[in-house]
Structure 1
Amino acid sequence: MSKAPNAEAFIEEQRRAIASNPDCGTSHYNLAVALLGQGKIEEGEKSLMTAIECSPGLAEAYVQIGGIRLKRGDLDGCLDWNRRAVKMKPSFSEGWGNIGFVLLQQGDLEGAIKALKKATAFNFRFIQAFATLANAYLMNGQIKESIETNLKAIDLSPEFAVAHNNLAIAYLEDGQTALAVEHADKAMELGYQVAPEILKELEPHRS
């Protein structure tokens, strides 16, 4: 069954709410999210801008615009809008997670780690932020911290394949080859494609 009719009904409901109260930022935001869900990116973006005009403190709208910028390949734009989000709402874990992700893409490892530590502090169940933080630690040569952070991700979700893959790499770097093999196998069991060079390096350590 398609959910499209329900989405259309929701969109109409938000349009009616806006017609009766044009300055309600939340209605503009809800409309934007529904439009984005239908792939109407430009229309959704306009509604997000209107939501911010009506409610400048609506941090979620800033993050949504950042997401649109990211999809367009505009990392600086994504970073800017997420920084605006956490300025409005300093404890907004999603904003910090996005900032960390972009800074990691841009090679600012220290900045990424700082932002991702905030993301996980404000939301201790933010599994994707833990995985990205673990990756940032690994890239920064902080192997022990990477292992510890990946283990937190797996504690939250034992079937999280990315964390098992990252653990395999971190344990390999740390010389704990038996654990590296174990987590590489687990990642593959969960459908993750472990890099061929990692598997080749692990081959001599299989019993």
Structure 2
Amino acid sequence: MKTPQDSNDFIQEQVNLLNENPECANAQYNLGVTLMQQGKFKEAIEFFEEAISNSGRMFEACVNLGYIYFKLGDLEKVVQANKKAVEIEPRYARGYANMGFAYLQMARTDEAIEALNKAIELNPHMAQAWSNLVNAYLQNDDVDKAVEVGEKLVEIAPDFALGQNNLAFAYYLKQDYEKAVEHLGRAMELGFKPHPEFIKELEPYLKND
């Protein structure tokens, strides 16, 4: 949803709708989005929760709640919000991807892998989910699987710089330095700035490249 430039007028319009119909989920959702964009997270949460309560199909409000809770650093609530989203809309890949990312941040790796694989099953072209899955397998010390997933990622999205970098790191851990240099170089060509320590580790192989 694109909020009009004069958000105050837009907010008043939605408030007027709620005055006419206090259970109007669309107006509550619109207010939630506007307030979220303004960084007024507490107020946005209240409107999103009301929208969810008043509509049986408001999975977008759940995902937006998850975004707010991520910004607030509450990963458990990120998971809860996105779980609710996929309960409402089981084929909503973004909800599973968001859950997977939150699980990854909490080092709940098996749950991250399950959620991310589900996201990819529903949307095979979701590059960020593939990239997070690479990291999940690395977190699980399964380097071979990380490489396998990373190769699928760069096949699907060859210009996704972060994916190239993550695959480079997987190959580095596999001690395949030629491949690591290849994908790191590709990431840098795409504008990615790798961690200086990673570049330093590959310097001997870069020089011989």
TM-score of the two chains, using structure 2 as the length reference:
0.86
Q: What residue number does 1:90 align with?
A: 90
Which structure 2 residues correspond to residues 21-100 of structure 1 after superposition, within 5 A?
Answer: 21-100=21-100
Which structure 2 residues correspond to residues 157-168 of structure 1 after superposition, within 5 A?
Answer: 157-168=157-168
Stretch deviating more after TM superposition (95-104 or 110-119): 95-104
**CA deviation after TM superposition for structure 1 residue 135, in Å:** 0.9
CA RMSD of aligned residues (A): 2.2
**CA deviation after TM superposition for structure 1 residue 89, in Å:** 2.1
Stretch deviating more after TM superposition (15-24 or 49-58): 15-24
Kindly provide the amino acid, as one letter, of the partner of residue 78 in structure 2: C
Q: What residue number does 1:179 align with?
A: 179
Give the unaligned 5+ runs of structure 2. Answer: none
Contact 2:4 2:10 in 1 (8 A): no
Task: Say whether 1:108 aligns with 2:114.
Answer: no
Kindly provide the amino acid, as one letter, of the partner of residue 139 in structure 2: M
**CA deviation after TM superposition for structure 1 residue 43, in Å:** 2.0
Structure 2 residue matching 1:102: 3-state secondary structure = helix
Q: Distance in 1 between matches of 2:127 and 2:33?
A: 23
Q: Distance in 1 between matches of 2:85 and 2:36?
A: 19
TM-score of the two chains, using structure 1 as the length reference:
0.87
Q: Deviations over 1:133-163 (max 9, x none)?
A: 1111122122233223223333443332211
Give the unaligned 5+ runs of structure 1. Answer: none
Kindly provide the amino acid, as one letter, of the partner of residue 29 in structure 1: Y
Kindly provide the amino acid, as one letter, of the partner of residue 99 in structure 1: M
Q: Given the superposition, is the C-alpha separation of residues 28 and 139 from structure 1 closer, same or farther in structure 2, using an over 3 Å criterion? A: same
Q: Deviations over 1:2-37 (max 9, x none)?
A: x86254444344334434433231231122112211
Q: Distance in 2 between matches of 1:20 and 1:63?
A: 27
Q: Distance in 2 between matches of 1:50 and 1:123?
A: 29
Q: Distance in 1 between matches of 2:23 and 2:155?
A: 44
Kindly provide the amino acid, as one letter, of the partner of residue 135 in structure 1: N
Q: Deviations over 1:76-114 (max 9, x none)?
A: 122222222222222221211111111111111111100
Stretch deviating more after TM superposition (55-64 or 98-107): 55-64
**CA deviation after TM superposition for structure 1 residue 169, in Å:** 0.8
Matched residue pairs, number? 205
**CA deviation after TM superposition for structure 1 residue 49, in Å:** 1.4
Kindly provide the amino acid, as one letter, of the partner of residue 35 in structure 1: L
Q: What residue number does 1:142 align with?
A: 142
Task: Say whether 1:197 aligns with 2:200.
Answer: no
**CA deviation after TM superposition for structure 1 residue 119, in Å:** 1.0
Q: Distance in 1 between matches of 2:130 and 2:58?
A: 25
